Amino acid sequence: MILETIVVTQDEAGQPHLAPMGVHSWEGEIAILPYRPSQTLNNLLATGVAVVNATDDVRVFAGCLTGRLDFPLVPAKRIACFRLRDALAHSELKLIEVADDPIRPKLRCRIVHQENHAPFLGFNRAQFAVLEAAILVSRLNLLPIEEIETKLPSLRTLVDKTGGPREMQAWDWLMAKIQEVKR
């Protein structure tokens, strides 16, 4: 199963890096598949560790893609890395195998520590819509803008109908980014 998460890594100087990533999850292991070029890839290869964060605050996804990277972090417990302070849950990972690839290497990791911090309160369609829009924004340099724009109205309806202030704000950040790229 693929889970949409926030992956935190750090470079060799200790500088943390946040990136939304759809990670592949199964019993005791998680695989991260970054498209080259990727800071997440460079950091994981350099340090051998990462933290996968589960969050229902979709502003973190939208923020990472629109240059807002100041989400609070706290140190991880068992590895030299950080986690999102406000994550619902997090998994601390150690790299165990690299399946190299010129486009999208697969980094197989073992979960060395896992913790829950807050309850999962239920599914929300606006959060799903923001995630879909965030994926479109992450492909702004790959997809024709017309293709992206045709998908937005139905997503917007979900945000308007079912979202709260966090979802609205995340949506606005993403739409502003699309307008910026169009200009």
Tell me how far, at minimum, the Cβ of 70 lies from ligand FMN, in Å. Answer: 15
- Are 47 and 4 spatial neighbours (Cβ–Cβ below 8 Å)? no
Residue-level length of the chain: 183
CB closer to ligand FMN out of 24 and 77: 24
Point out which residues bind ligand FMN (CB under 6 A).
4, 19-22, 33-35, 38-40, 61, 131, 134-135, 138
Structure tokens at 61: 């996804």
Of the CA atoms within 13 Å of residue 68, those in its CB half-sphere come to 16
Q: Which residue is nearest to ligand FMN (CB)?
A: 40
* Minimum distance from residue 171 beta carbon to ligand FMN (Å): 13
Torsion (CA) 139, 143, 144, 150 in degrees, nearest 10: -70
With beta carbons less than 8 A apart as the criterion, state whether 129 and 151 touch. Answer: no
Give the shortest CB-19-to-ligand FMN separation in angstroms: 4
Which is nearer to ligand FMN, 30 or 76 (by Cβ)?
A: 30
Report in angstroms how near the CB of residue 21 gets to ligand FMN at its nearest. 4
